[in-house]
Structure 1
Amino acid sequence: MVLPILINRVITVGVLLVGLEILPVWATGINAGGRPAMTSLPFHVEEIASFDRPWAIAFLPDGRLILTEKAGKIFLVTQEGVKKEVMGVPKVAFGGQNGLLDIAPAPDFQSSHGIYLTYNEPAQTGSRLVLARGELKEDKATARLQDLATLWRQDVSARGGQPGGIMAFAPDGRHLFLTVGDRMLPEKAQDRDAPMGKILRMKLDGTVPQDNPFAHEKGVRALTYSLGHRNPYGLAFSADGRLWEHEMGPRGGDEFNLIRPGLNYGWPVVSNGDQYGGAKIPRHATRPEFEPPPLYWNPVIAPAGLVFYEAELFSNWKGSALIGGLASMALVRVAIDAHGRADEVERFDMGNRIRDVAVGPDGAVWLIEDDSPGRLVKLTPRS
C-alpha cells in the first residue's frame, strides 16, 4: 500500500534531518530545460592551456591545478598554464564515456600529499570503476603518483559507459562520497546488491562508516548512501552542509537532487524524461515513495561538473551552484533558497561542451572543455 510506505518515509526523513526545513517529498520540481543561454557574457574568458579530452580539474593548496585527461594522463598546471605531467598513472579502459575520470587532493593533503582518483579499469568483459589513492611525489623536474592503493572496485564489470566516478569529501574531511553510474544497465540502479546506480559513503580508507544508512548489511549495501541514480556527473556540498548531485537523464529529465541518506531517487522506475526509443517512463509524481528532483531539465543540458561558489569576486554568485553543460555548451548557475528550493537563474553560452568547473583561490572560475584539444579557461568579472 502506498500510504503506509509514504508515512514511514516521511518519518525517516524527519528523523535524519532534524532542524532542517525541507520541501514535501511529493513536491513538483521546476523544469528549466527550455531556457535560453545568454550570449552577452558578464565575464572575461581567458584561455590558459589546452589538453586532449580533459575530464576533471581540482585546485591544490599551493594554487596549482591538477587535471586528468580521459585517455590516461594527469598534469599539474600553474595558473599561467605551465604543465608538468604526473607519472605513475594506472592503465585505464579508455573509450566512449570511460577512461581516467575524477581527481581530488586528500583533505589532509598538506601533510600527506594524498591524491584520490577514479578510473575505468580494463576487464575481460568491459571495465570496472575503481577508486584509488596515491601519494604525489614531486621535485623541480618531475612528478609521480606512488604507493597507489585501490580503496574500492566494482566487483562486476560492464561493457557500457555511464560510470559516474565523481568524488566529494564531507565538510569535516572524514568521509568520502562516490557516485557510481548504472553502466547502461538500468535495472541495476534498483538492485541493492549491484555496485551501480548508487552514491556510496565511506571513510577515507574505503571502509564502512558505522552510521551509514545500511551499515549493518554486507557488500555494496553497507556503503550505499542513496540509490536509484542513472549517470551522476556532479556531486558537491553547499555551505550549509547539504549534499547536492546532478545526473543525466535519458531523453530528457536531467536532474538536480538534494541527497539524503537512505533515499531512493527512482531510476529507472520513474524519470522526467523518456526512453531514447520513445517509450514513456512514469513521472516522479506517480510514485511518491521515490525522491523527486527539485530542479530538472527537459530538454536536457547534459550536466557535468558541479561546484558551489562561496568567494567574493563574483559577488552576486555567492551560494550558487555552478554546473557545466555538455549538450547545452553552457555554464549554468543555480540558486538555492533556505528551504532547499533550487532554480536555474542564469545560463551562459560558452560555445563548447563544458566538462568540469572549479573555483580558484582568488574566486576566479575555471572551466575545461570536453574536446580535443579542450581548453582550460579562466573567468573573471568584466566590471
Structure 2
Amino acid sequence: MRLTTPLRHLICAGIALSTALPLHADPQEVGLTPVAVGPGPFTYDTAEQHGLRVDVLARGLAHGYAFAFLPNGDALIVERGQRLRFLRGATGERPTLAPQPIAGLPDFSKQPHVLPDDVLGIQDVALANDFATSGTLYFTYNRPVALDAKAGRLTVTTIVAKARLRDMRLVEVKDIVVGETVIGAGGSRILVAPDQTLYVSVGALSTGDIQSAQRTDSIYGKVLHVTADGKPAPGNPFVATKGARPEIYSYGHRDPLGIAFDAKGNVLASEHGPMGGDELNRIQPGRNYGWPLFTYGTEYGGSPLPRTPVGPGTEPPLMIWMPAIAPAGITVYSGDKFPAWKGNVFIASARRGEINGTGSLVRVVLDDKLQELRQEMLLGDLHQRFKDVRQGPDGLLYALTDEDESVLLRISPAKPSN
C-alpha cells in the first residue's frame, strides 16, 4: 500500500518543506552558556513523588545516545557514532567506567569526507531476553557506502546487527536488517519484545528523498517489526504488498527517537518533529503517521502554522509539544521505588522551544485511554541535553545526557529538599 496524496497538501496545510533543508537543521545556535554538571548529589522536590536524589554515576562520555542494563547491574553506554562503553556496577554504590571501549564494533572513525550531517556509526543497543545465558545483544549503526560527488555527501545504510558480548568484545557480529543506501540517514532505536521479536524505529531522511517516509519500499521514516534473526515478524501488514519491505510495521514517521512498551503492551514512540510538533504516538500496524505530508510543526526558519496537521488516512498523535521539547529516549515506569509515578511516561528532552541549555526529563501522566492528564519538567536546572532514560533493574530511574562531556545520572527517592 502506498499513499498517493500529492505534495500540494503540504501547501494547503501551510507547510512548504524544502528537500534542500535538513530535517535537523539548526540555522542559528541560540541558548544558554554550556553548563557542566557538578559532583552532586542533587536533591529535588517534585509534584507527586516528593523528594528525589540525583547522583552522577559516570562522566566524560562523548555525546551519550543510549544505554542498556545487563542482568548483573552493569551497563552498556553508546557514545553515538563512536563507541560502546562498559560501566561496571552501574546500579551499585561505586560505578566504574572501563577506560577502553567494547571491541568488535564496525569502525568508521577514519572515514574521509564526513560532514556534520552525515550520521555514521553506532546508534542504539539492546539486550536479547536470554542475554544472561547467551550474551546476545542487538545494535543499530549507519555504515558509509560511498561519496556522492554531486551532493558532496556520503551515502550510508542503516543496519540492525546481532552479536554476542564476550569479555569486553563483540563476537559473531551479523547484519540482520540492511536498509537502502541513501543520503541523510539519521537515528534509530531498538525495542525487544517479550516474544523476542524486535521493534526498530528508523528516522526519515534529512535531505533529498524525504517523501520516502511515505513509501513502503524503504525502511526510512518507519517502525520495523522483525524476528530475532531479522526476518519479517508474523502478521506484519505489508508482507503481501508487492515491492514493499515486509519488515515495515508503521510508516510516515519523522524521527522516532524513543520507543517503549506500556503496562498494557502498547508500543509508544516519541517523535522529533520539525520546529514544534513533537509527538507521542501509539504505534499500530499498517498506520500512516503523516510525515512529511502532515505535521503540527513549522519550518526552522519560520512558516505559518499548519491548517491541516492530521490528514485523511493518517494517525493522530496521542499528544504534541508546542513549543518543541526535542524528545528522544522514553520509558514507562513500572517499578515500586516511586509509587506515585507508576505508569508515568518519561521522555528525555534535549531542549525546549529551540533554546539550547533547556533540556529536561519530561514526566507525562496518561489515563487508561492514553490521554494526557498532566506533565512535569524535571532536572531542568542541570541545563543538559537529555538523550535517554531507562528504568534500572533496581526500580530506579537513570538518565543519559548528550554533551561533549556527557553524564549518566541515577534518580532515587530522598527526603524533600528545602
TM-score, with length taken from structure 1 = 0.84
Once the two structures are superposed, what CA deviation does each residue of 1:314-368 show, in whole Å capped at 9, x if it has no partner? Answer: 1111111111000131001112221121344211114211011111122111111
* Equivalent position amino acid for 1:46 in 2: D
Q: Within 1, Cα distance between the matches of 2:238 and 2:307?
A: 27
The alignment status of 1:81 with 2:83, answered yes or no, reads no
Q: Within 2, Cα distance between the matches of 1:235 and 1:379?
A: 21
Q: Which residue of 1 aligns with 2:192?
A: 169
* Equivalent position amino acid for 2:219 in 1: P
The count of aligned residue pairs is: 340
Within 5 Å, which residues of 2 pair with 1:271-350? 271-280=295-304, 282-283=306-307, 287-328=311-352, 329-348=359-378, 349=380, 350=382
3-state SS, counterpart of residue 209 of structure 1: coil
Q: Which residue of 1 aligns with 2:70?
A: 60
Instruction: Call closer, same or farther: CA 1:129–1:303 in 2, change over 3 Å.
Output: same
1:81 Cα deviation (Å)? 2.4
Q: Please give the root-mean-square deviation of Cα atoms over the aligned residues, in Å.
A: 2.1
For the 8 Å contact 2:127–2:192, the answer to whether it is kept is: no
1:171 Cα deviation (Å)? 2.9
Q: Which residue of 2 aligns with 1:26?
A: none
3-state SS, counterpart of residue 132 of structure 2: helix
3-state SS, counterpart of residue 290 of structure 1: coil
The alignment status of 1:205 with 2:229, answered yes or no, reads yes
Instruction: Call closer, same or farther: CA 1:344–1:60 in 2, change over 3 Å.
Output: farther
Q: Within 2, Cα distance between the matches of 1:114 and 1:311?
A: 25
Query: Quick one: which of 142, 145, 167 aligns to 1:120?
Result: 142
Q: Within 1, Cα distance between the matches of 2:103 and 2:242?
A: 36
Q: Which residue of 2 aligns with 1:380?
A: 412
Q: Percent identity?
A: 34
Instruction: Call closer, same or farther: CA 1:53–1:219 in 2, change over 3 Å.
Output: farther
* Equivalent position amino acid for 2:56 in 1: E
* Equivalent position amino acid for 2:397 in 1: V
Q: Which residue of 2 aligns with 1:24?
A: none
Q: Which residue of 2 aligns with 1:262?
A: 286
Q: Which residue of 2 aligns with 1:91?
A: 107
1:40 Cα deviation (Å)? 5.2
Q: Within 2, Cα distance between the matches of 1:97 and 1:292?
A: 31
The alignment status of 1:44 with 2:73, answered yes or no, reads no
Q: Which residue of 2 aligns with 1:362?
A: 394
Gaps of at least 5 residues in structure 2 are: 6-42, 147-153, 353-358
Q: Within 2, Cα distance between the matches of 1:256 and 1:333?
A: 12
For the 8 Å contact 1:231–1:247, the answer to whether it is kept is: yes
Query: Quick one: which of 70, 74, 79 aligns to 1:69?
Result: 79
For the 8 Å contact 1:195–1:220, the answer to whether it is kept is: no
Q: Spell out structure 1 runs of 4+ moving beyond 6 A.
A: none
Once the two structures are superposed, what CA deviation does each residue of 1:183-223 show, in whole Å capped at 9, x if it has no partner? Answer: 21421111221221111111110011231111123565311
3-state SS, counterpart of residue 221 of structure 1: coil
For the 8 Å contact 1:100–1:118, the answer to whether it is kept is: yes
Instruction: Call closer, same or farther: CA 1:285–1:121 in 2, change over 3 Å.
Output: closer
Q: Within 2, Cα distance between the matches of 1:269 and 1:130?
A: 26
Q: Which residue of 1 aligns with 2:34?
A: none
For the 8 Å contact 2:52–2:413, the answer to whether it is kept is: yes
Once the two structures are superposed, what CA deviation does each residue of 1:103-135 show, in whole Å capped at 9, x if it has no partner? Answer: 011111122100111111112133211110111
3-state SS, counterpart of residue 86 of structure 1: coil
For the 8 Å contact 2:126–2:192, the answer to whether it is kept is: no
* Equivalent position amino acid for 2:217 in 1: D
3-state SS, counterpart of residue 246 of structure 2: helix
Q: Within 1, Cα distance between the matches of 2:224 and 2:374?
A: 27
3-state SS, counterpart of residue 110 of structure 1: helix
TM-score, with length taken from structure 2 = 0.77
* Equivalent position amino acid for 2:383 in 1: G
Instruction: Call closer, same or farther: CA 1:307–1:86 in 2, change over 3 Å.
Output: same
Q: Within 1, Cα distance between the matches of 2:300 and 2:248?
A: 28
* Equivalent position amino acid for 1:304 in 2: A
Instruction: Call closer, same or farther: CA 1:134–1:320 in 2, change over 3 Å.
Output: same
Once the two structures are superposed, what CA deviation does each residue of 1:269-312 show, in whole Å capped at 9, x if it has no partner? Answer: 11111122334474555524211112000110000111111001
Q: Which residue of 2 aligns with 1:238?
A: 262
1:83 Cα deviation (Å)? 2.2
Instruction: Call closer, same or farther: CA 1:277–1:182 in 2, change over 3 Å.
Output: same
* Equivalent position amino acid for 1:367 in 2: A
For the 8 Å contact 1:321–1:334, the answer to whether it is kept is: yes
1:179 Cα deviation (Å)? 0.7
